[in-house]
Structure 1
């Protein structure tokens, strides 16, 4: 979508600058190798249960439609879904993430260092929560 800033044209005295194409803002990765969106996925995974990782069966899906229930927690982006699944296991099981989830995390383009970063972040948050009671 185009954006025209007429204030800039007024200041410079030229409409050609107002119609110049603008670059879209990029989602940049932090020093950890994760973007803000990816850290948000990790934080939101804290509320997901291990049951959210299972594919609902036909009966479960039908009951959910009839009685209402929590929608499908899966993310449309496969990379973010791999991150969410990894983070859900980390929130609930700590370092005991299944090898299949580690492989899916790696296949989604994440590095072993990023896996350690997520685990350290989650475990330190869990430790603070546990210490507070």
Structure 2
């Protein structure tokens, strides 16, 4: 039978009143990559959320404009980008379908609150109510 020594583990020796604070704090955290997506979404227009139509694609081919789509390859990060773009532009008036898609991608309510609070405070600091786009 294997033996694992937990005596050096701080969670093993610490006493917590209800739950370890680190667990509660981690619930709403985002990774560095995820924060990068939120920051980069600040410059994205609302039009970046829709796929280009056939006419737009045809005109792009005729006139040689080749804009790369803003969509991210990773579906989870794309859901985060969409939520961040909407929040930067619309504050708390994000469509419920987008919020559901955000949660379906694996994000939590705490992460949603962290993102919205962070964007709202950034908008207040910079004195803008909405990003011009």
TM-score by length of 2: 0.72
> In the alignment, which residue of structure 2 is the partner of 1:72?
69
> In the alignment, which residue of structure 1 is the partner of 2:107?
110
> In the alignment, which residue of structure 1 is the partner of 2:127?
130
In structure 2, relative to structure 1, the CA distance for the partners of 1:127 and 1:104 (3 Å cut) is same
Alignment of 1:1-133 (within 5 A): 31=26, 32-65=28-61, 66-130=63-127
Q: Give the conservation status (yes or no) of the 8 Å contact 2:38–2:84.
A: yes
Shift of 1:55: 1.2
Between 1 and 2, higher relative CO (CA 8 Å, sep ≥ 6) is seen in 2
Unaligned runs of 5+ in 2: 1-24, 129-133
Q: Give the conservation status (yes or no) of the 8 Å contact 2:29–2:114.
A: no
Question: How far apart are the structure 2 equivalents of 1:33 and 1:46?
Answer: 19
Query: How well do the aligned residues superpose, as a CA RMSD in angstroms?
Result: 1.6
2:42 alignment partner, SS class? helix
Shift of 1:86: 0.3
Aligned length: 102
Unaligned runs of 5+ in 1: 1-29
Shift of 1:64: 2.5
Shift of 1:42: 0.3
